[in-house]
Amino acid sequence: MTEADVAAVIIMAAGAGTRMKSVRPKVLHEVAGRSMIAHAIKAANALAPDRLAVVIGHEREQVQQHLAEFAPHVLIAVQEQPLGTGDAVRAGLSVLPDISGEIVVTSGDVPLLKGETLRRLVASHRQTGSAVTVLTAVVPDATGYGRIIRAGDQVAAIIEHRDADQAQLEINEINSGIYVFDADLLRAGVDALTTANAQGELYLPGVVAFARQRGLGVNGYVLTDYLQAEGVNDRIELAARNAELNRRILRHWMAEGVTVVDPKTTWIHADVDLAADVTLKPGTSLEGATSVASGAVIGPDTTLIDVEVAENAEVVRTHAVLSVIGAGASVGPFAYLRPGTQVGERAKIGAFVEAKNAQLGAGAKVPHLTYCGDAIIGEGSNIGAGTIFANYDGVTKSVTRVGAHSFVGSDSVLVAPLTIADGAYVAAGSVVTRDVGAGELAVARGQQRNVAGWVDRRRSGTAAQEAAKEAARTRDNTDGENQ
């Protein structure tokens, strides 16, 4: 094994999380865009374990399906009844029957825990030659946590909050619930656990007592960043962990050269990637696997979900999903980019434009008030205000192709499937149902006629009639003066 490898990691993720008051298992709730169990697996992967087991129980089908989507390599163990952390680890060991060496036990609801912290924990375990190493933390409020009882540098015992006396309740060094065990000791210790405690459960800290009774070393590695050990038990704590992880993510990106104008209103998910010299204005939320290249300006009031933004693009007051925005492109304000939209270099999607599965070539413009669905627009073309790409006939969605350097006049309807060739024009107000050839002008509208005297006949006695009469008198007087 390399220095970083361990034999196995067991992640306890079987709890019901009743205080969350949710039909979704607690570990599937998200912090910074990742489920809490995904955070736990990412941290565990930093140890390069030979095997990784996740113990599930409550709503196990949901958790198992989620794991199959993003971590198919994990081993699934089932805790049939919520009989405590010791029983959860027993379930985890059932899928690791032949493991020897070091086993790290961690939890599925500590989303701030870093892989580097686990690596340091294992390093401390090896350095001290201990049979057990407990990750501890000194916290301002230890309510609800197991207390660490010290005997010099060694951990003498872990006393659960419900079982602690008054003196022990004053201790503020707590058990994080994260450990490194020798595999053989862990098996023997779990088998020896009893339910002689206030909860009537099998407590994993009992393995610490088991080790001490045999004269084996129990090391306590103190985590200075105690928030990494903070779990999530309800929606209040979920919001607090989200806020704290977001604060850390923002600090990281600002240190990397990203300008965040207002950190209080800016949210960035854990899997977002940003380049130096990106500017994020107030009210920006970057989610999923969004990436933003150097020089781009995002916001204000913009949400990008799984969006790729190239160099020097500007995205203002926009909601975009699964889209690509090219270098130097401009999007917004008040634009909606739906999945499949690709905005080419220096192209523009302007105010109150909705695009879906639309491809804009370099320098193409859709500036105003347009629905642009299932469209391929060539470079340098301009789509006038109020244009509708009519892509759906009630059964089939079809594509409209607009060639390079073409022009579509305002208030036009382009009825797909349709091709408008290079260098073609569409007159304003047209409903185009047939292809337009290169260099042609398409005019598809009724011929205008003006009906004289209509207001006198049909709107007699209205303000419109009086205005029309006044305009006629003014015209007649002007004509007389000019004669």
Distances, alpha carbon 108 to alpha carbons 41, 122, 247, 450, in Å: 8, 19, 21, 74
What are the residue ranges spanned by the domains of the chain?
8-229, 257-442
Q: What pLDDT, on the 0 to 100 scale, is given for residue 293?
A: 98
At residue 478, does pLDDT exceed 80?
no
Strand order in the sheet with 297-298: 259-260, 279-280, 297-298, 314-315, 330-331, 348-351, 365-368, 382-383, 407-408, 425-426, 441-442
Q: Name the pLDDT band for 46 (thresholds 50, 70, 90).
A: very high
C-alpha span between 427 and 384 (Å, rounded)? 10
- The percentage of the chain sitting over the pLDDT mark of 90, rounded to a whole number, equals 91
CA nearest neighbour of 408 among 385, 390, 438: 385
479: left (phi over 0), alpha (psi -120 to 50) or beta: alpha
Looking at residues 117-141, what average pLDDT do you find? 97
C-alpha span between 378 and 344 (Å, rounded)? 10
Tens-digit pLDDT profile for residues 82-116: 899 999 999 999 999 999 999 999 999 999 999 99
Q: What pLDDT, on the 0 to 100 scale, is given for residue 139?
A: 95
- Name residues whose C-beta falls within 8 Å of residue 75's C-beta, 6 or more positions apart in sequence: 51, 52, 53, 54, 95, 96
Say if domain 257-442 classifies as CATH 3.40.50.300.
Answer: no
- For the domain covering 8-229, report its CATH number: 3.90.550.10
Tens-digit pLDDT profile for residues 226-263: 999 999 999 999 999 999 999 999 999 999 999 999 99
Q: What pLDDT, on the 0 to 100 scale, is given for residue 483?
A: 61
At residue 3, does pLDDT exceed 70?
no
Tens-digit pLDDT profile for residues 316-352: 999 999 999 999 999 999 999 999 999 999 999 999 9
Report the Cα–Cα distance between both ends of the chain, in Å, rounded: 107
Bridge partners of 10, per DSSP, are 53, 105
Looking at residues 9-14, what average pLDDT do you find? 97
Q: Are β-strands 407-408 and 382-383 bridged in parallel, bridged antiparallel, or unpaired?
A: parallel
At residue 386, does pLDDT exceed 60?
yes
Q: Token digits for 238?
A: 């979920």
Q: Name the pLDDT band for 1 (thresholds 50, 70, 90).
A: very low
Question: What is the chain's mean pLDDT, rounded?
Answer: 95
Q: What pLDDT, on the 0 to 100 scale, is given for residue 4?
A: 55
Strand order in the sheet with 335-337: 267-268, 284-287, 302-305, 318-321, 335-337, 354-356, 371-373, 388-390, 413-415, 431-432
The one-letter amino acid code at 94 reads S
Looking at residues 59-81, what average pLDDT do you find? 95
Looking at residues 417-444, what average pLDDT do you find? 97
Active site residues: 368
The structure tokens 């933390």 sit at 137
The structure tokens 């192709």 sit at 401
CB 346 within 8 A of CB 364: no
Looking at residues 154-178, what average pLDDT do you find? 94
C-alpha span between 329 and 365 (Å, rounded)? 10
Q: Name the pLDDT band for 162 (thresholds 50, 70, 90).
A: confident
